[in-house]
């Protein structure tokens, strides 16, 4: 063995082999599993399976798992962000601006009605969506700081690329309709 190590470049080749077949597969796999959602059981399963794979096959096995993580873990996330921020580009429209354009046919609550809105009340907002019709949906107010509000979506969106129960930030002038909460309805809290 000592005579093999005296060959020029043998020590470097030995260190590279240790990295490729020993250290790097575990490190790279730890990065790959982060491409899967946090609650996906494959995150733990893949790390446990690594040590069942023969050492000489590990680099190739890790590369194969990278392909799976890209296809099944990252691709749906990219598609969701692409749909929301690039393709659809939904944004909350101003109710006040629509009322200015169409004062006879587009009603919005007046300033006094908007001033009495509080957490727990429902408000209707409208979204403008590029490449598709807009959408109007109800939002339950969770927090109010002057004219800036935070609410939870109460509808299942059709054209707007939002999840049901999504947290929505909006301004008081965006509101196009409202329903006051009953006295027994307590306000929700924002989940951290």
Q: Check residue 192 and give its pLDDT.
A: 43
- For 164-182, write each residue's pLDDT tens digit: 888 999 999 999 999 998 7
Neighbour-count burial of 177, counting CB atoms closer than 10 A to its CB (0-12 exposed, 13-18 middle, 19+ buried): middle
- For 11-31, write each residue's pLDDT tens digit: 788 888 888 888 899 899 989
Q: What is the pTM of this model?
A: 0.55
Q: What are phi and psi of 183, to 5 degrees?
A: -60, -30
Tokens of 189: 């809290």
């Amino acid at each position: 063995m000592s005579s093999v190590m005296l060959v020029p470049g043998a020590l470097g080749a030995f260190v590279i082999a240790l990295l490729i077949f020993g250290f790097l597969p575990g490190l790279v796999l730890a990065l790959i599993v982060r491409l899967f959602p946090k609650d996906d059981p494959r995150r733990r399963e893949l790390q446990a399976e690594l040590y069942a794979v023969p050492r000489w096959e590990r680099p190739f096995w890790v590369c194969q798992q990278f392909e799976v993580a890209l296809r099944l873990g990252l691709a749906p996330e990219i598609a969701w962000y692409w749909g929301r921020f690039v393709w659809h580009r939904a944004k909350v429209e101003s109710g006040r601006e629509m009322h200015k354009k169409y004062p006879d046919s587009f009603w919005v609550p007046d300033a006094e009605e908007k001033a009495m809105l509080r957490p727990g009340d429902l408000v209707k907002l409208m979204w403008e969506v590029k490449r598709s019709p807009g959408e109007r949906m109800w939002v339950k107010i969770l927090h109010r700081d002057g004219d800036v509000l935070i609410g939870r979506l109460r509808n299942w969106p059709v054209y707007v690329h939002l999840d049901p129960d999504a947290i929505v930030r909006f301004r008081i002038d965006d509101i196009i309709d409202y329903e006051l909460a009953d006295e027994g309805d307590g306000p929700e809290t924002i989940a951290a």
